[in-house]
Amino acid sequence: MDEIDIPQYFLCPISLQIMKDPVTAVTGITYDRESIEQWLKTATDTTCPVTKQPLPSDSDLTPNHTLRRLIQAWCTENASNGIDRIPTPKSPLSKSRVIKLMREFEHPSFYANALKKMEVLGKENERNRKCMEEAGVAKAVILLLIRCYKERRITGLEEALKLVYLIWTPSSEVKALVNENHDLIDCLTWILGCEMENPVVVKTHAMLVLRKVIEVANTRLVEKLKLEFFREILRVLKLKISQQATKSALLIMIEVCLWGRNKSKIVEANAIFELIEFELEKPEKNITELNINLLAHLCSCADGRAQFLRHAGSIAMVAKRILRVSPATDDQAVHILSLISKYSATKQVLLEMLRVGAVTKLCMVIQADCAAYLKEKARGVLRLHSNLWNNSPCIAVYLLTSVW
């Protein structure tokens, strides 16, 4: 193939490869569609790569059918030399076709099939997803999901959730729909609790969409999250539906726990017990990091610390994570021990910290290659109860030299 003389005008000026779908920009230069669309999407200064003239990101790209036919003919003539024929590209998705598919959402017998067709089209390329966005598909599918929730229909939930996640953009229209009322959050909560044939895919996508929803939800909506919402999220965590669902569950709780009474609601939903049990099964390090982060937030309230201490393995689990996972985990784990030692420091708790190695770990933090602020935080905890800990045979003498 290297020896074949390829006509220069068959090559895309960006990729320098034979064009499969040549399109002409308003500047008169022809590019391969995929290359120029990627350029317009990612370039900070949207100018024509060849002429350097302004080229708006929403510029029309006109298919160059004549050039495409010439390229296809040339490829056919050179097939014996190992040149593959360029297939005729599919016609761009039209807004009218999208609207026609959206009309099928109104019919219980047709909407699941229409959703499947849209998902296939959306996966084909960015151009199709943009067309769907402009046609208002996201809003239409969200309204369909809410209708399924109110009518308690599970048909098409998988297809609808996949499509919403695929084409989700935080447009003003989507934000307004999310924040209008609790219907969408209630709908996704209901889906998480539904019994269905394919729970892994459906509930994983429900969690992925829920995370997107929480990211655009306003304070008023987030502050009114229901106890049932947190119970269903913790159920996802407990059942270990998928890695994506687990990560989304933790990220959602971390994001919302600072608003309103959400922290108390999460604790009331028995989150701390579930988080400790989950952590004792030694998940992946990135999940541990999120888990310890959430526990640190929850232990900042009295009810959270009380629930934490009721679990027999809580202090030992946190102590074992220090200096084993990441600097972020060290920070949050030491913070948990600091909160416990300041506000819940009964003699029984302090002796438990000594017995399970939490005090030893704090000494090790001071001697390890940790940030100065973290060493100081660990030193502060140790000094707080030095009268009880400094003569203990549970701590090696060499660890105490840099503390008291």
203-228, pLDDT tens digit by residue? 999 999 999 999 999 999 999 999 99
pTM: 0.81
Residues in Cβ contact with 326 at an 8 Å cutoff, skipping those fewer than 6 apart = 285, 289
- Same domain, yes or no: 44 and 150: no
Domain span at residue 148 reads: 95-269
> Pick from 273, 236, 238: which is nearest to 252 by CA?
236
Q: Can you give the CATH number for the domain in which 13 is found?
A: 3.30.40.10
> Pick from 332, 327, 396: which is nearest to 364 by CA?
396
- 49 and 39 Cβ atoms separated by less than 8 Å: yes
Final residue before a domain boundary, out of 32, 59, 81? 81
**Is 349 part of any domain?**
no
Q: Can you give the CATH number for the domain in which 108 is found?
A: 1.25.10.10
113-137, pLDDT tens digit by residue? 999 999 999 998 888 898 999 899 9
**Is 342 part of any domain?**
no
Q: Is residue 400's pLDDT more than 90?
A: no
Assigned token pair, 190: 């209901």
Which helix H or strand E contains 119, and what residues bound it? Answer: helix 111-124
Which amino acid, one-letter code, is at 349? Answer: V
- Same domain, yes or no: 205 and 144: yes
More confident: 43 or 319: 319
Q: Is residue 39's pLDDT more than 50?
A: yes
- Same domain, yes or no: 42 and 190: no
Q: What are phi and psi of 68, to 5 degrees?
A: -60, -45
- Same domain, yes or no: 48 and 181: no
Final residue before a domain boundary, out of 252, 269, 286? 269
**Is 45 part of any domain?**
yes
More confident: 1 or 299: 299
Write the burial class of residue 321 (CB in 10 Å: 0-12 exposed, 13-18 middle, 19+ buried). Answer: buried
List C-alpha distances in Å: 157 to 110, 205, 207. 13, 10, 13
Percent of the residues in the chain that have a pLDDT greater than 70, as a whole number: 96
Rg (the chain; Cα; Å): 29
Q: Is residue 97's pLDDT more than 60?
A: yes
Residues in Cβ contact with 27 at an 8 Å cutoff, skipping those fewer than 6 apart = 48, 50, 51, 53, 55
Final residue before a domain boundary, out of 54, 81, 108? 81
The four Cα atoms 309, 313, 319, 320 give a dihedral, to 10 degrees, of -160
Per-residue pLDDT, 198: 79
Average of per-residue pLDDT values in the chain: 90
Neighbours of 1 (CB within 10 A): 9
Q: How many CA atoms lie within 13 A of 362 on its CB side?
A: 33
- Same domain, yes or no: 132 and 235: yes
223-278, pLDDT tens digit by residue? 999 999 999 999 999 999 999 999 999 999 999 999 999 999 999 999 999 999 99
Per-residue pLDDT, 398: 44
**In the chain, how many domains are there?**
2
**Is 394 part of any domain?**
no
More confident: 398 or 213: 213
